[in-house]
Amino acid sequence: MGRSFESLREEHGFVPLRVEGELPRELVGTLYRNGPALFECQGTQYRHWLDGDGAITAVRLFDGRAEGAVRVTVTAELAEERARGEMLYSSGFTLGPYWHKRLFGHAKNPTSIHVLAWRDRLFALGDAGIPYELDPKSLETKGPWDLDGVKRELVNAHVRVRPSTGDVIAFGESIGVRNTLDVYVLPPTGAPRLLAAIPCARPPLLAHDIVITERYAVLILPPVHVAVTPILLGTGSPMDAISFHEAEGCEVIVLPFDDPRAVVRFRVPTFSHFHYANAFESGPDAIAVDLCRYPRFDLGTAFMLEGLRTGDAWSSAPVGNLSRLHIDLAAKRAEWEVLWDANVDFPQTHPDRQGRPYRYLWALTQRDHVDFIEKRDLSTGEVARSALPSTEYPGEPTFVPRPEAKDEDDGWVLTLAYEAATHTSALVILDARDPSKVVARAHFGQHIPFPLHGTFHRG
């Protein structure tokens, strides 16, 4: 799998993909994926996987055919580096060569984490940075996006969609004299708006994901401090300035959609997480939050590029499980329940069950350093597992319901997988009821560096 972390060889617009099997004609739309794709800058190697400049991959499905495209998102910093022919800026783990470019914490945001398809517009998202708008027809970069004028400072990678309203809930942070955690609403019609700017004693960094219920947004902040002086002086990379303080615990923040001023805040013993599966209201003052929980804090140092390419990274990678945090809003306390004792992350549900009670979960799991896509029935505990060749490495699963489906698990699971034997990548379509069944593959003629997150956009 190490060669998956080689830089993208070629960018291109939509071209026909070779199809193996039969693509379902009811499956119409575009799968978007985002991930780090360039691992060196003008001849200088990055240190970490997440330093890589991002690229959007898209597979368009229609009439039983597939067309694929992949393009690097050209941020302002990357454009300047290309024009100058040299690395100029720091990334998360890589210190840039020029002191004056590092002053006041100026670093490159590779926008390499997620994709937002909102209305008929497309955006590349990174963590704690500026979103970039792309042309959905060509994937070419149009430029930075300020959330149509309401963005305060930084915007994070993950968003959630409220099934009852169609609103996209996004968040970010503002850092300075007044630190705030900013929550935004991007409605299906009308202008985006700032829902809340929640005051924080310290910069609310590393809140990677957000989760919603019918009435609330929930965020959990890790106990991290930021050494401001090295950032202002430009003497270290952004990640060098962050320290972890386990004794403080994690802060749970519950924001009511209808009354953003009535925020509930309290602390729980420290844990680590990156991704939520779902949340729902389990009682009048009770919320169940399902997430992939890790016992220790990790900034991702296990995923330095050298270790990923040699395979050493997987032996030191963090191991977690799917756990449920039962929140009592009235008492401001919470208790844990383990739902799935497996090494699981990148969880996905039916999109219409977000924020609501649900039964099925699809996720990426790893057993003995082999990756699988697994389906978990939360009612019975039953697990169904993919049966891909040992040389085929799946990425994040995306569940797409069959049109007019009545059952929660009736549809397909889409993943962008890397085939090590041929050093190429393909869209793999699995039967969502039984992920061991491969419905079809749509093959790219090259490898796509291992992606992170994405979305399926119908139409």
Render each residue's pLDDT in the chain as its tens digit; 459 residues: 779 899 999 999 999 999 999 999 999 999 999 999 999 999 999 999 999 999 999 999 999 999 999 999 999 999 999 999 999 998 888 888 887 888 777 889 899 999 999 999 999 999 989 999 999 999 999 999 999 999 999 999 999 999 999 999 999 999 888 999 999 999 999 999 999 999 999 889 889 999 999 999 999 999 988 887 777 777 877 777 888 899 999 999 999 999 999 999 999 999 999 999 999 999 999 999 999 999 877 666 678 888 888 877 766 677 889 999 999 999 999 999 999 999 999 999 999 999 999 999 999 998 877 899 999 999 999 999 999 999 999 999 999 999 999 999 999 999 999 999 999 999 999 999 999 999 999 999 999 999 999 999 997
Nearest to 143 by CA among 61, 75, 193: 75
Number of H helices, E strands in the chain: 5, 35
- 173: helix, coil or strand? strand
CB within 8 Å of 37: residues ≥ 6 apart: 7, 8, 52, 53, 54, 55, 70, 72, 112, 448, 449
CB within 8 Å of 63: residues ≥ 6 apart: 25
Tell me the C-alpha distance between 442 and 154, whole Å. Answer: 36
Measured from the Cβ of residue 405, the count of other Cβ atoms closer than 10 Å reads 15
Report yes or no: 31 and 416 within 8 Å, Cβ to Cβ: yes
End-to-end Cα, the chain, rounded Å: 33
CA 390 to chain centre: 25
CB within 8 Å of 404: residues ≥ 6 apart: none
> Which amino acid type is present at position 71?
R
217-243 per-residue burial string, b: 16 or more CB within 10 A, e: under 16: bbbbbbbbebeeebbeebebbbbebbe
* Structural domain spans, the chain: 2-458
Residue 298: the pLDDT is 65
CATH code at 2-458: 2.130.10
Report yes or no: 179 and 152 within 8 Å, Cβ to Cβ: no
Tell me the C-alpha distance between 113 and 50, whole Å. Answer: 8
**pTM (two decimals):** 0.95
Residue 369: the pLDDT is 77
Q: Where are the beta strands (DSSP E) in 50-187?
A: 53-62, 65-72, 114-118, 121-125, 132-134, 141-144, 160-161, 168-174, 179-186
**Number of residues that make up the chain:** 459
